[in-house]
């Protein structure tokens, strides 16, 4: 049986549109677990009413505080996996609009015999139909981002739309003591989770015929703001320390320096010195706790460290990134 997990944070209109697209195509027995994540009493009440009208399919829970994506999903995972009949879990962003047949298309790519226990979908921009994400790609620069091309290496599914087997989720928790790392709060927690699953021997698959439209970053105020910059880069540093093998990190050091030099140059020109200072300071302060988790992950590995290189896309970063960054650099202050 399938459980679908959705978190709402101040996106009630989008969440209801997501449910409107999802409910007609959910097979009998599928359970939707919906969490309102600190949106306020009015929005929580609206979603509670909506859920109550579909009580046979939706279990609603409200949190007064914003737990973040990581802790919010962990709460929903805990609720869902109490039911022993649930053997698959689908994570779905509240600002998505799934198209008919996407569930079956993702389920068809699961292959327990080959430990293919996580599946990515095709997320498209609803305004342009351009690719938003085909899962996660880890680039040579040491930064992971949305996979944009089907010929790029798939690291694993993005948290915006990801199907996992119960076996994988239970194994992660038993081996590492966590599903999502709650210290991340949001951003890159999905990269951390799929990397840990890869170290346990699980493989990803991509369902090209599972089409989901995705608005993108609605709950965080858009893709280019201080909140996204802070959590995205801080957490990317944390998963590197937590999950990447030492040999690969050392070989990637020149690319790492080039990447972060570019990040600092770009955002200093945008007047974000304070955010940069805070994110690198907090990343370093978090390293001791991250290294403790690294030791647990390393001890639990079931594949050799040298396999990590095969999970990395040889491009430095997204294919048009250097050209875009260069144009922006010389376009005044980048605004």
Q: Output the tens digit of pLDDT for each of the chain's 335 residues.
A: 999 999 999 999 999 999 999 999 998 889 999 999 999 999 999 999 999 999 999 999 999 999 999 999 999 999 999 999 999 999 999 999 999 999 999 999 999 999 999 999 999 999 999 999 999 999 999 999 999 999 999 999 999 999 999 999 999 999 999 999 999 999 999 999 999 999 999 999 999 999 999 987 665 555 578 999 999 999 999 999 999 999 999 999 999 999 999 999 989 988 999 999 999 999 999 999 999 999 999 999 999 999 999 999 999 998 777 666 666 666 654 44
How far, in Å, CA of 249 to CA of 241, rounded? Answer: 9
Torsions phi, psi of 120, nearest 5?
-100, 150
How far, in Å, CA of 301 to CA of 161, rounded? Answer: 26
DSSP 183: G
How far, in Å, CA of 137 to CA of 140, rounded? Answer: 10
In order of their start, the domains of the chain are 2-214 (3.90.550.60), 226-329 (no CATH)
3-state secondary structure of 119: strand
**131-149: b or e for each residue (b if 16 or more CB lie within 10 Å)?**
ebbbbbbbbbbbbbbbbee
User: CA 281, 325, 313: angle at the middle one, nearest 5?
Assistant: 80
Q: What pTM did the predictor assign?
A: 0.93
> For residue 153, how far is the Cα from the chain centroid?
16
């Amino acid at each position: 049986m399938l459980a679908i997990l959705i978190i709402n944070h101040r996106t009630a209109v989008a969440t209801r549109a997501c449910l409107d697209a999802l409910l007609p195509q959910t097979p009998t027995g599928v359970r939707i677990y919906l969490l309102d994540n600190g949106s306020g009493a009015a929005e929580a009440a609206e979603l509670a009413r909506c859920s109550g009208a579909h009580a046979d399919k939706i279990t609603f829970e409200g949190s007064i505080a914003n737990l973040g994506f990581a802790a919010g999903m962990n709460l929903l995972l805990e609720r869902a996996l109490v039911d022993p009949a649930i053997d698959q879990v689908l994570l779905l962003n509240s600002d998505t609009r799934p198209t008919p047949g996407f569930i079956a298309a993702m389920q068809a790519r699961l292959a327990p015999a080959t430990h293919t226990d996580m599946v990515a979908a095709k997320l498209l921009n609803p305004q342009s139909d351009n690719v938003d994400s085909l899962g996660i790609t880890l680039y040579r620069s040491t930064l992971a981002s949305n996979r944009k091309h089907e010929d790029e290496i798939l690291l694993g599914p993005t948290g915006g739309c990801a199907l996992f087997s119960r076996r994988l989720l239970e194994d992660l928790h038993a081996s590492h003591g966590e599903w999502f790392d709650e210290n991340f709060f949001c951003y890159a927690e999905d990269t951390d989770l799929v990397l840990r699953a890869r170290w346990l021997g699980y493989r990803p698959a991509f369902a090209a015929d599972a089409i989901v439209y995705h608005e993108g970053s609605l709950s965080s105020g858009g893709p280019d703001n201080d909140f996204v910059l802070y959590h995205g880069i801080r957490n990317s540093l944390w998963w590197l320390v937590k999950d990447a093998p030492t040999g690969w990190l050392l070989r990637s050091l020149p690319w790492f320096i080039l990447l972060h030099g570019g990040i600092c140059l770009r955002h200093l020109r945008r007047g974000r010195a304070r955010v940069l200072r805070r994110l690198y300071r907090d990343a370093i302060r978090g390293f001791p706790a991250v290294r403790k988790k690294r030791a647990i992950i390393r001890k639990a590995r079931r594949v050799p460290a040298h396999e990590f290189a095969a999970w990395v896309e040889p491009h430095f970063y997204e294919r048009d990134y250097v050209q875009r960054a260069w144009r922006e650099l010389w376009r005044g202050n980048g605004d």
